[in-house]
């Protein structure tokens, strides 16, 4: 029988993990469970949820810092930041609907443990870059801390970096401290019709290499653009490059004008104002443009991080071997691809292509059977794999925290 543990304090969390260690009982570590279907299926007898370790314990807007329990809902954090015109600059995405769950369920701990980031990643960094301090229970049943509440800190190893993106396999977070930043006063988006991937990546590179301080650059091929709730995007009936500009009013206007000029050689130009911009970039952030409304949401979805100039080639490799619907974000450095009609979900083709360019692919959505046979996370080179195993051993020697979620035994 599976029990669920809902600790309400760090000490209680530590005691539960220590007990599990003593009886070598694997635990599935979750928050709200909104991304539970992401990763390899975990074989654990019991569930330890951090959802009850919730609440903002410190928020000092002038100091750009917030401290909270890992189970604090993202919605609550967004609302509190909103009141002071601030934000988490890495634009945490909500993959709930993509993974067949409701929107708005995620927690700050989940966002950090997956090192998630939205379109602003290219300018502001990912979750890892805003993760200032952590307190967590290791698989040794010990409560440890790393980092602090200040941005400038090189005291000791930065274990926040390891916790970010470790999907609960190294420790159970009990408290997190993050950097927050002012939200922009105004947002505009320049749209450029651009049918071919190589030209789209070139246009995005032009924008990102300009002095106009672009905060996001994405490319939606025609089928993806057509799914947008924004009339200008859906009605364009063509593939679009979208370039976002944020900041104070006068500056945004001037930069938009300059970008329109600079990008005009790539195609026709349109512009989205604040409301439509916010809608469109939320669709990009939460990956809402690759699924058909009629699709039950079961096709494989990949998230591929790679050098931007390698994206067109990888897209081509995908398109000649399988049915594929894709969107580019991060100026081409991130491919979201929904694929079908191929037995291994496309893993072989994608990873063969990445072997030449460098980068990594994560199988974000697939049925449990596929997730236990196809490598969900990017397989690592031998030397790196050895380090990964050593790190797991350092934090969780008995393999009781989310065992197998990332790799076999990890």
* Strand 4-5 with 46-49, pairing: parallel
Could you tell me which residues come within 8 angstroms of residue 41 by beta carbon, excluding any fewer than 6 positions away?
368, 371, 372, 404
Q: Between 180 and 230, whose beta carbon lies closer to other proteins?
A: 180
For the window 313-342, what string marks contact with other proteins as x by the rule CB under 8 A? -----------------x--xx--------
* Residue with Cβ nearer other proteins (251 or 321): 251
The nearer residue to other proteins, 16 or 172, going by C-beta atoms, is 16
Please report whether residue 211 would count as binding other proteins according to CB under 8 A.
Answer: yes
Residue of 13, 30, 49, 305 that binds other proteins (CB under 8 A): 305
Q: Tell me how far, at minimum, the Cβ of 354 lies from other proteins, in Å.
A: 9
N- to C-terminal Cα separation, the chain: 24
| Sheet-wide strand order for 4-5 | 4-5, 46-49, 27-30
Considering only residues 256 to 295 of the shown chain, the ones binding other proteins according to CB under 8 A are none
Q: Using CA atoms, how far apart are residues 402 and 396, in angstroms rounded to an integer? A: 10
Integer Cα distance of 166 and 173 in angstroms? 11
Closest by CA to 72, choosing from 20, 107, 114, 38, is 107
Rounded Cα–Cα distance for residues 276 and 387 (Å): 45
Cα–Cα distance measured from residue 297 to residue 315, given in angstroms and rounded to the nearest whole number:
21
Which of 179-187, 216-224, 232-240, 275-283 is the region at the interface with other proteins (rule: CB under 8 A)? 179-187
User: What's the CA angle centered on 362, arms 357 and 364, to 5 degrees?
Assistant: 145
Q: Which one among 6, 75, 158, 344 touches other proteins, defined by CB under 8 A?
A: 158
| Binds other proteins by CB under 8 A, chosen from 52, 80, 210, 319 | 210
| φ and ψ at residue 334, rounded to 5 degrees | -140, 125
Nearer to other proteins, 73 or 109 (CB): 109
The interface with other proteins within residues 93-132 (CB under 8 A) comprises 115, 117, 121-122, 125-126, 128-129
Span interacting with other proteins, options 98-106, 178-186, 278-286, 338-346, rule CB under 8 A: 178-186
What's the rounded Cα separation, in Å, for the pair 58 and 42? 33
Site string for other proteins, 1-40 (x = CB under 8 A): ----x---------xx-xxxxxxxx---------------
Report in angstroms how near the CB of residue 12 gets to other proteins at its nearest: 11
């Amino acid at each position: 029988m599976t029990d669920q543990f809902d600790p309400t304090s760090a000490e209680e969390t530590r005691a539960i993990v220590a007990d599990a260690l003593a009886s070598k009982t694997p635990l599935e570590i979750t928050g709200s469970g909104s991304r539970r279907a992401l990763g390899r299926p975990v074989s654990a007898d019991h569930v330890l949820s951090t959802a009850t370790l919730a609440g903002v314990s410190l928020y000092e807007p002038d100091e750009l810092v917030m401290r909270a329990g890992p189970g604090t809902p993202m919605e609550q954090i967004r609302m509190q930041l909103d009141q002071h015109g601030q934000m988490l600059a890495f634009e945490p995405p909500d993959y709930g609907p993509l993974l067949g769950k409701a929107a708005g369920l995620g927690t700050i701990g989940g966002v950090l443990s997956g090192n998630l980031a939205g379109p602003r990643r290219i300018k502001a960094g990912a979750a890892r870059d805003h993760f200032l301090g952590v307190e967590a229970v290791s698989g040794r049943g010990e409560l440890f801390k790393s980092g602090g509440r200040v941005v400038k800190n090189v005291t000791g190893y930065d274990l926040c970096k390891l916790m970010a993106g470790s999907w609960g396999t190294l420790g159970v977070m009990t408290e997190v401290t993050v950097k927050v930043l002012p939200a922009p006063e105004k947002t505009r988006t320049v749209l450029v019709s651009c049918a071919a991937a190589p030209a789209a990546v070139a246009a995005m590179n032009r924008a990102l290499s300009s002095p106009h301080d672009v905060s996001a650059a994405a490319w939606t091929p025609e089928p993806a653009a057509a799914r947008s709730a924004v009339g200008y995007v859906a009605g364009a009936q063509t593939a679009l490059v979208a370039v976002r500009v944020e900041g104070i009013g006068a500056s945004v206007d001037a930069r938009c004008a300059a970008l329109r000029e600079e990008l005009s050689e790539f195609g026709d130009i349109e512009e989205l104002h604040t409301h439509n911009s916010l809608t469109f970039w939320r669709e990009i952030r939460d990956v809402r443009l690759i699924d058909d409304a009629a699709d039950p949401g079961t096709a494989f979805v990949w998230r591929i991080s790679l050098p931007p100039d390698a994206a067109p080639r990888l897209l081509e490799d995908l398109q000649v071997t399988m049915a594929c619907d894709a969107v580019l974000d991060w100026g081409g450095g991130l491919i979201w691809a929904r694929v079908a009609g191929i037995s291994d979900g496309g893993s072989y083709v994608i990873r063969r292509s990445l072997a030449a360019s460098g980068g990594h692919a994560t199988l974000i959505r697939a049925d449990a059977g596929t997730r236990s046979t196809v490598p969900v996370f990017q397989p690592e080179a031998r030397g790196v794999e050895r380090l990964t195993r050593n790190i797991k051993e350092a934090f969780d020697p008995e393999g009781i925290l989310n065992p197998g979620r990332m790799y076999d035994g990890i």
